Amino acid sequence: MSTLVIGETDWPTEKGLCCLSLADLNRRGLMLCRDGKLKFHDASGEWHEVDHVLWRAQGPRDAKLQHSALSLVAASSAECVNSASSLLQYGTRILNHGALRKGGLPVITSCPILGSNGLSYFYKAEFPSVLKVGDWHMGYGKCKVSNLEAWNDAVDMAAIADEIVSVEPFIDYRRDLRVLLVGEDLIAVERFPASHQWKANVCPSEIKRVELLPELAHMTRKAAALLGMSILGVDWIEDKKGAWHLLEVNPSPGLQMEEMDCRPLALKLLQRNSH
């Protein structure tokens, strides 16, 4: 029995566990055998059967490679968390926002636009807005725009990326929470933005574990059910009137939250799913 972690290389060494970056996997080889089994090559002559995959890759940098590897995993008999088909279906911000909104969750209103003309000439911006270019994480590809001059500059920068650009209202939030769900377990941290940052997740001045409001716990579990995922990180912001807005669902969230290392929970989940 073996577990392959795809997309991260720093998991504690454990018998039967192998971690590979996507680039390494691509160099060595991933194979869907005729009998439906999944195997990876160890680069020294042997193929190894994979029973479980823990999918930890994300982001647009190697999106094509991710899609190819996920297709093999989805078609194989290996158990994958999150399931490869849910990742293929809802792995990006735009796809999962749509499903979550249809499911009744308070997803932030956002207007994704394809094509630089649409953005540069035909879209009427309101201020302050947030521009999110493509599907980058960790604050990358996002800017807050407060006036027309800054908007024009931001649009000029965004236009050359050839990616979908989402425009959202900037919400002057009073709290920013990351809620991590691993199976049945829920953990929440509050992030406090640095004085020079509007993004609370980029070099926050403080991160602290907080008790989860039942309302957010319920909505986070509902997000997981709607997407068919059992591991996810959901970012919530609370506006000045006390309403919560779902900013994003991260299907491969960081599993180390402050002093908590949730990686063993993820492994346990994978093993439990196989019985």
Ligand X SMILES: Nc1ncnc2c1ncn2[C@@H]1O[C@H](COP(=O)(O)OP(=O)(O)O)[C@@H](O)[C@H]1O
Nearer to Mg ion, 129 or 250 (CB): 250
Binding partner of residue 139 among ligand X, Mg ion, none, CB cut-off 5 to 8 Å per kind: ligand X
**Alpha carbons 191 and 210: distance in angstroms, whole number:** 10
> Applying CB under 5 A, which part among 6-14, 53-61, 79-87, 242-250 lies near Mg ion?
242-250
Told to check if 247 binds ligand X by CB under 6 A, we report yes
Q: Which of residues 93-112 bind ligand X (CB under 6 A)?
A: 108
> Whose CA is closest to 183, among 140, 143, 142, 232?
232
Binding partner of residue 135 among ligand X, Mg ion, none, CB cut-off 5 to 8 Å per kind: none
To which H or E segment does residue 188 belong? strand 185-192
Q: Which of 105, 113, 165, 171 binds ligand X (CB under 6 A)?
A: 171
Structural tokens at position 230: 């059992």
Sorted by sequence, the CB contacts under 8 Å of residue 209 that are 6+ apart come out as: 187, 188, 189, 257, 258, 259, 260
Query: What number of chain residues touch ligand X (CB under 6 A)?
Result: 19
| Closest approach of Mg ion to the CB of residue 160, in Å | 24
To which H or E segment does residue 167 belong? strand 165-169
Told to check if 167 binds ligand X by CB under 6 A, we report no
- For 43, left (φ over 0), alpha (ψ -120 to 50), or beta? left
For the four alpha carbons of 13, 60, 200 and 89, in that order, the dihedral sign comes to negative
Told to check if 235 binds Mg ion by CB under 5 A, we report yes
**Alpha carbons 58 and 75: distance in angstroms, whole number:** 20
> Applying CB under 6 A, which part among 16-24, 74-82, 166-174, 262-270 lies near ligand X?
166-174
Q: Which of 19, 25, 80, 130 binds ligand X (CB under 6 A)?
A: 130
For ligand X, the binding residues (CB under 6 A) are 108, 130, 137-139, 142, 168, 170-171, 173, 176, 198-201, 235, 237, 247-248
* Residues lying near Mg ion in the complex (CB under 5 A): 235, 248
